């Protein structure tokens, strides 16, 4: 979709969208029939003859960037469903929220239809091709609007790969995707791929164990962006990318197993963030480390009771092969700390069902050892709409995962399941400032929302981008 900015509504535009709060829904060029439009958040009123679409923002006092983002998404998704190809968005008083409005619109029109036949339905499944954002002060919305476009496109990039099915996307496919991303960046990103032989040679026991049951061997994918001083320690983003999680020998129940195609979304958030970083070019060094494997039950599968030596030499006891994310992350965190010399590490993973039980689809859990990192992430979460909720790292969680036969075990039952997983990861970062985002809930949605299509959401991409592009 083309995003344009203008001081006036273009003549070819088929429809003009306006954002209205409950209180100011009367203040429109064309009067709004009050009985038909409450102004409630995400409510819509289409006036055919007048070629206007009104979108509600709810109570004025409660409007945030996220309200505008969702309203933008709702409007754009609706227009696309109605087969409109050109529309204008009159920002008016909402010009300061141009970034969120553009993000919402670009996110709202994405859908995963790669494998769907073109439908001869009514209305036709055409794409919204051009969306013009209109504000009296065009220069005022240009920079923020462009930034929103880049952030949302990076998010959609992560969604598109996140949505690829398990029979078409493997660790080697992920590696090839990262390679292409680096190639197309014209040298802005460089990539390093550790294949099975390199993983074996260098002792990545976690990735090799988890990937052992698959015909498609694991990969460690490392993407570098150097926008800072030479030698400046990088910020590291580390992602879990299990291309399909069957649970392995501790196999998952059949019901809902298909949702495990989204178990690569932590890694996709990192890939999406690197995509956005290449475009936004912050003045700092960032490295993305993605641990990718397929968790299957083939002859080489790892077993409950196995003792695995991970990259930093620590020994872990496997008592549940379905707690595989932390096992591959043990390798990746060790690599980020030792080989990349990270100044700080932020990891993202669809790590536990327990986190979904705690927070639902509406926020990711945030565990961190560093107050400055916490403040930066919470501020970035606020700006991006990628909600993060602080969770504890009590020493008792670390006690819970002590092993009788190794240093730690990879699962310890249901109580505090998301927190014991975080405690496990903490072992491998040692003193490096670190934050862990358990994105199991918000990384994908199983049903269409008014503002967002079903599937991978790209959660985390914009939070990471807000974080690396903020002033400090």
- Residue closer to ligand BES by CB (options 87, 209) is 209
Report the nearest approach of ligand BES to the CB of residue 330 (Å): 14
Round to whole Å and give the CA distance between 443 and 173: 20
Among 90, 103, 153, 245, binds Mn ion (CB under 5 A): 245
Round to whole Å and give the CA distance between 109 and 91: 18
Q: Which does 352 bind (CB under 5 to 8 A by kind): ligand BES, Mn ion, Zn ion, none?
A: ligand BES
Give 22's DSSP letter: S
Residue 322 touches Mn ion, criterion: CB under 5 A: yes
Judge whether 439 and 348 are in contact, CB under 8 Å: yes
Catalytic positions, written as ranges: 252, 326
Report the nearest approach of ligand BES to the CB of residue 249 (Å): 12
Find the radius of gyration of the CA atoms of the chain: 23
Give 318's DSSP letter: -
CB neighbours (10 Å) of residue 125? Answer: 15
Q: Is 119 exposed, middle or buried (0-12, 13-18, 19+ CB in 10 A)?
A: exposed
Report the nearest approach of Zn ion to the CB of residue 202 (Å): 23
Instruction: At 368, give phi and psi (nearest 5°).
Output: -150, 150
Judge whether 101 and 74 are in contact, CB under 8 Å: no
Q: Which does 438 bind (CB under 5 to 8 A by kind): Zn ion, ligand BES, Mn ion, none?
A: none
* Cis previous bond, 123, omega within 30: yes
Q: Which does 353 bind (CB under 5 to 8 A by kind): Mn ion, ligand BES, Zn ion, none?
A: ligand BES
- Residue closer to ligand BES by CB (options 201, 303) is 303
Report the nearest approach of Mn ion to the CB of residue 321 (Å): 8
- Residue closer to ligand BES by CB (options 45, 440) is 440
Strand-strand pairing, 444-445 and 189-194 = unpaired
- Residue closer to ligand BES by CB (options 136, 357) is 357
Q: Which does 103 bind (CB under 5 to 8 A by kind): Mn ion, Zn ion, ligand BES, none?
A: none
- Residue closer to ligand BES by CB (options 185, 350) is 350
Round to whole Å and give the CA distance between 92 and 99: 14
Q: Which does 220 bind (CB under 5 to 8 A by kind): Mn ion, Zn ion, ligand BES, none?
A: none
Binding site for Zn ion (CB under 5 A): 242, 245, 263, 325
Residue 306 touches Mn ion, criterion: CB under 5 A: no
Report the nearest approach of ligand BES to the CB of residue 240 (Å): 8
Tokens of 302: 């790892």
Number of residues that bind Mn ion (CB under 5 A): 3
Decide: helix, strand or coil at residue 381: helix
Report the nearest approach of Mn ion to the CB of residue 393 (Å): 22
Which has the closest alpha carbon to 317: 408, 401, 251, 402? 408
Q: Which does 440 bind (CB under 5 to 8 A by kind): ligand BES, Mn ion, Zn ion, none?
A: ligand BES
Report the nearest approach of Zn ion to the CB of residue 208 (Å): 17
Round to whole Å and give the CA distance between 397 and 419: 7
Binding site for ligand BES (CB under 6 A): 245, 263, 320, 322-325, 350-354, 356, 411, 417, 440
Tell me the per-residue interface mask from 111 to 150 with Mn ion, x by CB under 5 A, - otherwise: ----------------------------------------
- Residue closer to Zn ion by CB (options 58, 325) is 325
Q: What is the DSSP string of 411-427?
A: ---STTHHHHHHHHHHT
Decide: helix, strand or coil at residue 104: helix
Q: Is 114 exposed, middle or buried (0-12, 13-18, 19+ CB in 10 A)?
A: exposed
Residue nearest to Mn ion (CB): 322
Residue nearest to ligand BES (CB): 353
- Residue closer to ligand BES by CB (options 185, 352) is 352
Judge whether 52 and 104 are in contact, CB under 8 Å: no
Binding site for Mn ion (CB under 5 A): 245, 322, 324
């Amino acid at each position: 979709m083309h995003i344009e900015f203008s001081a006036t509504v273009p003549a070819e535009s088929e429809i003009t969208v306006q954002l209205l709060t409950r209180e100011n829904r009367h203040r429109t060029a064309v009067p709004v029939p009050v009985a038909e439009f409450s102004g409630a958040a995400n409510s819509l009123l289409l006036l055919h003859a007048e070629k206007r679409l009104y979108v509600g923002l709810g109570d004025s006092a409660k409007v945030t960037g996220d309200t505008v983002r969702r309203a933008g998404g709702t409007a754009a998704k609706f227009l696309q469903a109605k087969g409109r190809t050109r529309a204008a968005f009159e920002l008016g008083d909402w010009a300061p929220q141009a970034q969120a409005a553009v993000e919402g619109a670009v996110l709202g029109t994405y859908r995963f239809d790669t494998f769907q036949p073109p439908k001869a339905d009514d209305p036709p499944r055409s794409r919204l091709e051009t969306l013009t954002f209109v504000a009296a002060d065009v220069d005022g919305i240009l920079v923020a609007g462009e930034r929103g476009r880049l952030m949302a496109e990076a998010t959609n990039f992560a969604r598109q790969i996140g949505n690829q099915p398990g029979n078409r996307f493997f660790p080697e496919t992920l590696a090839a995707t990262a390679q292409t991303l680096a190639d197309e960046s014209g040298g802005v990103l460089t990539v390093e791929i550790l294949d099975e032989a390199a993983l074996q040679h260098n002792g990545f026991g976690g990735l090799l164990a988890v990937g052992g049951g698959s015909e498609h061997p694991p990969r460690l994918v490392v993407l570098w962006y150097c926008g800072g001083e030479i030698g400046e320690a990088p910020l590291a983003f580390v992602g879990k990318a299990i291309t399909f999680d069957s649970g392995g020998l501790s196999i998952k129940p059949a019901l809902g197993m298909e949702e495990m195609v989204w178990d690569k979304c932590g890694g996709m958030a990192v890939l999406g963030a690197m995509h956005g970083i290449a475009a936004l070019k912050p003045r700092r060094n960032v490295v993305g480390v993605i641990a990718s494997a397929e968790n299957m039950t083939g002859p080489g599968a790892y077993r409950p009771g196995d003792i695995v030596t991970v990259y930093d030499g620590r020994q872990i006891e496997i008592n549940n092969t379905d707690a595989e994310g932390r096992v591959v992350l043990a390798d990746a965190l060790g690599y980020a700390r030792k080989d990349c010399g990270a100044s700080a590490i932020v990891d993202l993973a669809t790590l536990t069902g327990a986190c979904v039980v705690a927070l639902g689809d509406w926020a990711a859990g945030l565990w961190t050892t560093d107050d400055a990192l916490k403040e930066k992430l919470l501020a970035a979460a606020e700006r991006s709409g990628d909600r993060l909720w602080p969770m504890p790292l009590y020493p008792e969680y670390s006690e819970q995962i002590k092993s009788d036969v190794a240093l730690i075990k990879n699962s310890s039952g249901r109580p505090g399941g998301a927190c014991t997983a975080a405690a496990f990861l903490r072992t491998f970062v040692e003193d490096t400032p670190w934050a862990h985002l358990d994105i199991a809930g918000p990384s994908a949605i199983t049903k269409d929302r008014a503002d967002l299509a079903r599937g991978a959401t790209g959660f985390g991409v914009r939070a990471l981008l807000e974080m690396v592009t903020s002033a400090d």
